[in-house]
A and B are shown apart, each in its own frame.
Chain A
Amino acid sequence: MHFICDFTQKAVAEVCSTMFTLKATPVASGEGLENARAEFSGIVGSVSFAGKISGAVYIGLSDALACTLAERLLGSRPATANSPEVADLIGEIANMVSGDMKRRTAEIGYNGLLAPPVVMHGPSIVVEPREAHIAAYNQFRIPELNEEFGVQVFAKLQA
C-alpha cells in the first residue's frame, strides 16, 4: 500500500474519532493513475497542499451524511446540506484530515503547506487529476450510522 493511502486511512480514522467519536473503517481502496478520477454526489470538502508534496485531498459525503454529522456536532439537524454550518463542518473535516496527513508526510521528509479548504456542493462532481503521480482512493464505512463516504487524494512528490 502506498503511504498516501495508509496515511489517508489513519487520518480519517483519527478525525472521525476525535470530532464525532465515530469509528470509520476503510472498506475499499484503490491506487493508480489509469483512468483515475473521483466521482462524488452531494458535498465535497477539499484542501490543496504545495511543497515537497503537492496535490489535493477530496472528501465526498452524501447530503444526508453531512447533515447527520452536523447534527451530531451541533445538536440540531440543519435544514439542508446547503447551509453554511454544513459547509463549515465539511471544510473543517477536510482541514483536519489534510492537517493530519501533512504531519505524517512531513515526518518522512515530504512537507507541504496547506491552502484553505474549498467546499463544493452539487448533484455530480467529478475530479480529474493533472500532473499527479499518485492517485489513492479510499471508501470508508461508519457502522454506527450505516453510511459510507469516499476520500480521493491526487499528489505529486518532489524529487
Chain B
Amino acid sequence: MDQCVLAAATDVWATMLGWNLTAPAVAEAKGPPTSFPLLAINGCVGFAGNLTGSVFLSCETHLGERMARIILGDSGGLTAREVSDVVGELTNMLAGGCVSRLRDQGFTLAMSIPNVIRGVSIQATSRDVTFLIRRRFFLAGGTESVQVTVAGKTD
C-alpha cells in the first residue's frame, strides 16, 4: 500500500500541477492504527471490497489555494468552494491511482465519492482497521507539504 501511495501521489501532482513531490524514505506512521491529525482542508475517499478503508489528503489553506490557482488558472480571488473542489478532485485522483494499482495486484475494490472536510484541530481515528500509513509529501525545494493518510483492513 505504501508503494501505491508513493507512486499515485507523485503521478497526480506531476500531471495536475507539474510539481515534483518528494517524500522521506520512511513514512511518518506505518503500521498499527493510531489517531491522526487532519489539517485545515481534507479530501476523503472511502474504498471497499476485499480491502476496505479511507484515503485522506490534507493540506493547509494557503497550499490548497495555491493548487487551486494553478489548476483553475485563476489569478484572482478564489472561493472556498473552488478550493474544496480542487482538493476533492486531487483526492479522487490520488485514491483512484491507489485503487488502480491495488486492482493490478488482484484486489477487488470499489471507490466512494469524495467529500471535503474543513476545520480546526480535528483529530481522526479509524475503527476496525488493521493498518495506517501517513506520509508527508514536500514540494521539491520547499517546506510546504501535503499529508496523505490511508487507513484500512484486508478481508
Seen from chain A, the residues whose Cβ lies within 8 Å of a Cβ on chain B are 47-51, 54-56, 82, 84, 87-88, 91-92, 95, 112-132, 154-156
Contacts and interface: CB of A to CB of B under 8 A. Distances in A.
B118 A55 contact: no
A48 B116 contact: no
Contacts of B125: 84, 87, 91, 118-119
A93 to B, nearest CB: 11
B25 to A, nearest CB: 28
Contact of B92 (A112, A119, A122, A130): A130
A126 B117 contact: yes
A91 B112 contact: no
Given A91-B127, A120-B124, A49 B116 contact: no
Given A87-B127, A132-B113, 5 more contacts: A50-B48, A82-B123, A119-B125, A120-B124, A130-B88
B126 A130 contact: no
Nearest to B126: A118
B85 interface: yes
Given A49-B48, A123-B120, A124-B119, A116 B112 contact: no
B32 to A, nearest CB: 14
B151 A118 contact: yes
Chief secondary structure at chain B's binding surface: strand
A122 B54 contact: no
Among A49, A56, A82, the one with the most B-chain Cβ atoms within 10 Å of its Cβ is A56
Contacts of B48: 48-51, 112-115
Contacts of A91: 125, 127-128
Nearest to A116: B128
B52 A130 contact: no
Interface in B107-134: 110-129
A134 to B, nearest CB: 10
B118 A50 contact: no
B47 interface: yes
Nearest to A88: B127
Contact of A54 (B54, B88, B89, B113): B113
Contacts of B117: 120, 125-128
Given A48-B46, A123-B121, A128 B38 contact: no
A114 B52 contact: yes
A56 B53 contact: no
B122 A121 contact: yes
